């Protein structure tokens, strides 16, 4: 069973930075698509960034591009989300997610992601 465990959330002031970590554990997995989603209270869950571990392809939502960076440390089986220039609009619970893909690019649809972490809270104050 593949498990995802997030950490690194917290409270910061606007303009600050945080780095979230997602440790992938369990049996060997072909889940090449790794993504970070977030959900604020009363809002729909939205994709923030995804990363194809095989091709190293990365995509970002327009709202975070140039501020957030998704990366991985394969030796540590960890995927990171570096967040800079945070604003109150970035406040949400952030989730790491993964799914297996045969070919093609990863998807923004959370319906395809079948493994999820428990979430880590990010709060940005003005």
Q: Determine the average pLDDT of the residues in 33-62.
A: 94
Q: What is the pLDDT of residues 79-112, one digit of tens each?
A: 999 999 999 999 999 999 999 888 888 999 999 9
Reported as a pLDDT band with limits 50, 70 and 90, residue 30 is: low
The answer to whether residues 106 and 53 touch, using CB atoms and an 8 Å cutoff, is: no
Q: What is the CA radius of gyration of the chain?
A: 14
DSSP 75: G
What is the pLDDT, as a whole number, of residue 28? Answer: 42
List C-alpha distances in Å: 46 to 72, 98, 116, 126: 21, 14, 14, 22
Q: Determine the average pLDDT of the residues in 2-28.
A: 91
Q: What is the pLDDT of residues 58-85, one digit of tens each?
A: 999 999 999 999 999 988 889 999 999 9
3-state SS assignment for residue 110: helix
What does the alpha-carbon distance between residue 46 and residue 94 come to, in Å, rounded to a whole number? 10
What does the alpha-carbon distance between residue 122 and residue 116 come to, in Å, rounded to a whole number? 17
Q: Determine the average pLDDT of the residues in 5-9.
A: 96
The answer to whether residues 51 and 72 touch, using CB atoms and an 8 Å cutoff, is: yes
């Amino acid at each position: 069973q593949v498990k995802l465990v997030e950490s690194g959330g917290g409270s910061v002031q606007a303009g600050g930075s945080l780095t979230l970590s997602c440790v992938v554990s369990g049996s060997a997995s072909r889940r090449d698509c790794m993504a970070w989603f977030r959900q604020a209270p009363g809002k729909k869950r939205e994709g923030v960034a995804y990363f194809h571990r095989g091709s190293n392809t990365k995509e970002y939502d327009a709202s975070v591009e140039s501020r957030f960076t998704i990366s991985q440390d394969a030796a540590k089986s960890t995927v990171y989300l570096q967040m800079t220039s945070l604003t109150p609009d970035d406040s949400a619970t952030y989730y790491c997610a993964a799914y297996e893909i045969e070919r093609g690019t990863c998807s923004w649809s959370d319906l395809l992601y079948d493994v999820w972490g428990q979430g880590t809270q990010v709060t940005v104050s003005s």
